[in-house]
Amino acid sequence: MDLVLFDLDNTLLQGDSDFEWAQYLISLGVLDQEVYEARNQAFYDQYKDGSLDIHEFLDFQLAPLARHDRATLDDWHAGFMRSRVLPMIGRPARELVARHREDGALMAIVTATNSFVTGPIAREFGIAHLVATIPAQHDGRFTGEPRGLPAFKQGKISRVEAWLESLGLFPGSFDRSWFYSDSHNDLPLLEWVTTPVAVDPDASLEKTARSRGWPVISLRFEP
């Protein structure tokens, strides 16, 4: 059996769900455009250049969840899926997931984006397992803080290993392991698997992938 791990944003999705969720809340008037749009873009730019402080970002990204009840958030998320997420899912990504499913692989999405945003997206792909940053809850409401280690950079390895342990598995349980990602931030997990695959990679990851002979593929599509 193979282990197949997928990054989500700019890999399976042609876009970034974390960034788009904040933009969607701005479009609804839930978040103040003048205050949040510039910060949202700044954090996204920091992620791309490798300078993101994940804890500072999570303080920003999880705070809106704590201000609203779950029913309201779920209603907003349904609209977010229809208007922002589904247009970012193309046939190439769906076909890649389907091929690994047909091969009987154990699959998971592994993403730094929080599980409230990404859980419904994983279900849309038919991927049962999600290793994501977890927003803490108390009495059914989000607290605005993360629970446990964020699934970011080296933290992705720790979270994947803990997930496998919960299933009674470890890396040696698999004939082959794959990780698909677009970002140099994911180098630790790309180096952890037996088959790293760069997907529409950023310049830094593309340089690394080419120098090491890793596959470089594209899942881009015409909207």
Angle at 71 between CA 67 and CA 77, to 5 degrees: 85
Helices (H) and strands (E) in the chain, counts: 9, 7
Q: Does residue 103 carry a catalytic annotation?
A: no
For the chain, what's the residue count?
223
- End-to-end CA distance of the chain, in Å? 34
Q: Under a CB-based contact definition with an 8 Å cutoff, are residues 165 and 148 in contact? A: no
- CA-based diameter of the chain, in Å? 51
Q: Under a CB-based contact definition with an 8 Å cutoff, are residues 146 and 127 in contact? A: no
Choosing from 2, 7, 32, 53, the catalytic residue is: 7
Choosing from 9, 16, 182, 186, the catalytic residue is: 9
Residues 6+ apart with CB under 8 A from 6: 12, 97, 107, 108, 109, 110, 127, 179, 180
Match 């201000």 to its residue by tokens. 67
Q: Does residue 53 carry a catalytic annotation?
A: no
Residues acting as catalytic residues: 7, 9
